Amino acid sequence: MTAVIISGKEIADKKRQEIAEEVKSLKENGIVPGLAVVLVGDNHASRTYVKNKEKACKELGMYSVLIELPEETSEGELLDKIHELNNDKQIHGILVQLPIPKHIDETKVIESISPDKDVDGFHPINIGRMMTGQNAFLPCTPFGIMVMLEEAGISVAGKDVVVVGRSNIVGKPVGQLLLNQHATVTYCHSKTKDLKFHTRQADILVAAVGIANFITADHIKEGAVVIDVGINRNEAGKLCGDVAFDEVSEVAGYITPVPKGVGPMTITMLMYNTLKSARESAERS
Ligand code: NAD
């Protein structure tokens, strides 16, 4: 079998066009969706992510502001800045780029963002709302995966899903969203006894581990849907996912590539969440 490639890039382009249309119509009513991105310190990868987010905002006609704070910023100073943004009417989404310097408590920072502007979907209130199936900002990468599955015409209800990885930003929430859509979900992680035993049962496998080419053909059931969240560099320095793409493509029914897979969906869903926030804020006022 040669797997069908689910192009995150193509789906993201389509979704971005839809978002741009909606931004245009909001603007006609005097509302410009605005995103504030806070970057603390000088992490090279974070700087690239932040630039990409700014670029996406610009392309979709949204307002964006980048707040760059030095590495030595105190926790209090960062919390003050977030408080200011919580009260800024031009700002509908606040994102603090992680990781932040070690001397600042990440949990405190996440909890200081107004749940109504938490476009990353990391605030416990949004996580709770997601778990209970209420209106919430969904975390962008898991949300992007759900949209990819939907756009590829893959139904989730009743499927056996295995999520490898249990981080708060990817593994746990993607399993929850799949459960909300009536999948039977198993989580695997670094302490799982027999990983292959589980992954070989999966109709849908989500790999969110962070180890290059970790998932090989012998982890996969014939015809399975394989979603590769990983962003890694192989020995040659080339960008690659958690899934050994060439060999797994021979067994899987569907597969997402890296790059141009889950990655482009993540920023797209951030833009979607910012638009949603602007829309909901207009409805409240
Ligand atoms: P993380 O390091 O927080 O979590 C990794 C998870 O993998 C852990 O839960 C751990 O238990 C599990 N794990 C580690 N070794 C394992 C093993 N031997 N067997 C089974 N499970 C094992 O990482 P994360 O933040 O969830 O990110 C995972 C990957 O996804 C990374 O490569 C990251 O760069 C990438 N990522 C991509 C996007 C995107 O937009 N495409 C977004 C976020 C993260």
Q: How many CA atoms lie within 13 A of 242 on its CB side?
A: 19
Does CATH place domain 30-115 in 3.40.50.10860?
A: yes
Q: What is the per-residue pLDDT for 72?
A: 97
Closest CA relative to residue 226, chosen from 260, 253, 186: 253
SS3 content of the chain, % helix, strand, coil (to 5): 45, 15, 40
Q: What is the per-residue pLDDT for 120?
A: 98
14 catalytic per annotation = no
Q: Which residues pair with 207 in a beta bridge?
A: 164, 228
Q: What is the per-residue pLDDT for 77?
A: 98
| Domain map (residue ranges) of the chain | 30-115, 140-263
- Cα–Cα–Cα angle for 161, 167, 168, rounded to 5 degrees: 105
Contacts of 285 (CB under 8 A, 6+ apart): none
Report the separation in Å between the CA atom of 126 and the middle of ligand 1, taken as the mean of its atom positions: 21
Instruction: Identify the active-site residue in 15, 81, 97, 159.
Output: 97
97 catalytic per annotation = yes
Cα–Cα distance for residue pair 76/74, rounded to 1 Å = 5
Q: What is the per-residue pLDDT for 204?
A: 99
Cα–Cα distance for residue pair 91/33, rounded to 1 Å = 7
* Cβ pair 21, 275 in contact under 8 A: no
116 catalytic per annotation = no
Q: What is the per-residue pLDDT for 285?
A: 84
Can you give the pLDDT of all 285 residues of the chain as single tens digits? 799 999 999 999 999 999 999 999 999 999 999 999 999 999 999 999 999 999 999 999 999 999 999 999 999 999 999 999 999 999 999 999 999 999 999 999 999 999 999 999 999 999 999 999 999 999 999 999 999 999 999 999 999 999 999 999 999 999 999 999 999 999 999 999 999 999 999 999 999 999 999 999 999 999 999 999 999 999 899 999 999 999 999 999 999 999 999 999 999 999 999 999 999 999 998
* Cβ pair 243, 250 in contact under 8 A: no
Instruction: Identify the active-site residue in 120, 203, 228, 242.
Output: 120
For residue 243, give the DSSP letter: B
Does CATH place domain 140-263 in 3.10.510.20?
A: no
Report the separation in Å between the CA atom of 26 and the middle of ligand 1, taken as the mean of its atom positions: 37
Report the separation in Å between the CA atom of 236 and the middle of ligand 1, taken as the mean of its atom positions: 21
Q: What is the per-residue pLDDT for 1?
A: 72
